[in-house]
Amino acid sequence: MCGRFLISATPDAIAARFGLATKPDLSPRWNVAPSQDVPVVRSSPSGSRHVSMMQWGLIPHWAKDPAIGQRLINARSETAAEKPSFRTPLKSHRCLIVTDGFYEWQHTEGRKQPWCIRAADASPFAMAGLWSSWRGGDTPLETCTILTTTPNVMLKPIHKRMPIIVSPEDYNLWLD
């Protein structure tokens, strides 16, 4: 599970990592929480990539109450294709959620030990995401969720889930 993350990379570093035509207008944030706006990368029909800000917590297009987004900050990749909330976004609304680290809490001896998980070089990276546009009010609200998976060898001692990390060579494949 990913319940908090950070975005501290410079706009230049983010533009370079994600192959963006224009630099995003972002300030460093060290404790990004659910329901906050987060930067996501999407592809346009021409294939160029751009950053959009979306609320973290997916609200399916069919939802009557936007409060459902609080429960849909993460999606288990193993079952996303079967779940009504994630089935359509998995087919046609994929995104890359920009970060350069995420937090996990390890339960040890009756307490929680926080860990900040980053790339070895502290560079920005992408978490696999899904997005949806909800039209319950006057203005459409774009929301997103992070896809999670079983942890790799390094994270297994810390937590039972982790976000899916998309490598740069797979960005186009994921966004297609």
What is the pairing mode between strands 141-149 and 125-134?
A: antiparallel
CA-wise closest residue to 18 among 153, 171, 134, 123: 171
116 catalytic per annotation: no
Residue with token string 């959620």:
97
Task: Point out the catalytic residue in the list 78, 82, 95, 104.
Answer: 104
104 catalytic per annotation: yes
Distance CA 171, CA 33 (A): 24
Task: Point out the catalytic residue in the list 2, 95, 142, 144.
Answer: 2
Q: Are 7 and 101 in contact (CB under 8 A)?
A: no
Active site members? 2, 104
